[in-house]
Amino acid sequence: MVWINNGYETLSSTSDTLTATGMTVSDFNQFIISIFGSGGTNEADITFNNDTGSNYADRRSVNGGGDSTQINQDNFRAIANAVSNDTKFMVMETFNISDEEKLCIWESVSSEASGAGTAPTRFEHVGKWVNTSNDITEIDCTNDGGGDYASGSNLSAIGDGGTITTTTLNIQTNSIFETSDTGKHFIWNSSTRTWTEVA
């Protein structure tokens, strides 16, 4: 299994959406999102494959408090509070089998007011997207607050759907590897993707 870059977007101007499309189908995905606020409140609502039906359910807690649940929703409210111009960061992991409900777990943090005088807010979430007909091939993060996502905000998708190739290994032909315990030397053959001991 090889982890691959499965799509990303970095904003070059303000926007209300971050998107990764055309993703290689992967059983396991990780989505990393960083948001810089601009001009007002900003939130992070997640949808898969442009599905805005009532197909999302999640459970979350804020700063370790009691759980709250949201059912029959048209998205995951991934980061729920909306402080003006704050910074948000989220890591979401998904289990993605086409004929099963897609299970997700994610954590996020919101900076709140700037400076060390204000503690950030943390969110812990679990959720499911109940589609049992499709794999996840697109993720959208949408702001429904009054502000915007600022330039530099980013969504990165990582998947396990890759295959080992010379490119993904990034090892040049005839590279030499030396073991630290025995001092033996091995040379790389990129066409067979094997190491051969040097006599």
Q: What is the pLDDT of residues 160-199, one digit of tens each?
A: 977 655 455 667 788 888 888 888 888 888 777 778 888 7
Same domain, 147 and 191: no
Q: Are residues 118 and 183 in the same domain?
A: no
Whether residues 156 and 178 fall in one domain = no
Whether residue 119 sits in one domain with residue 170: no
pLDDT per residue as tens digits for the range 102-158: 999 999 999 888 889 989 999 999 999 999 999 999 999 999 888 899 999 999 999
Q: Whole-angstrom distance between the N-terminal and C-terminal Cα of the chain?
A: 31
Long-range contacts of 57-62 (CB under 8 A, 24+ apart): 57/127, 57/128, 57/130, 58/104, 58/125, 58/126, 58/127, 58/128, 59/125, 59/126, 59/127, 60/123, 60/124, 60/125, 60/126, 61/123, 61/124, 62/121, 62/122, 62/123
Domain span at residue 138 reads 2-162
Same domain, 97 and 10: yes
63 in Cβ contact with 153 (< 8 Å): no
Residue 123 main-chain phi, psi, to 5 deg: -130, 140
Do 12 and 33 lie in one domain? The reply is yes
Residues 92, 119, single domain; the answer is: yes
Q: How many domains does the chain have?
A: 2
CB atoms within 10 A of CB 34: 16
Domain match, 132 and 186 both: no
Contact call for residues 121 and 81 (beta carbons, < 8 A): yes
Same domain, 83 and 121: yes
Asked if 51 and 102 sit in the same domain, the reply is yes
Residue 80: the pLDDT is 60
Pair 13, 111 in one domain: yes
* 123 & 184 share domain: no
User: What CATH number is given to the structural domain containing 75?
Assistant: 2.60.120
Say whether pLDDT at 82 is over 90: no
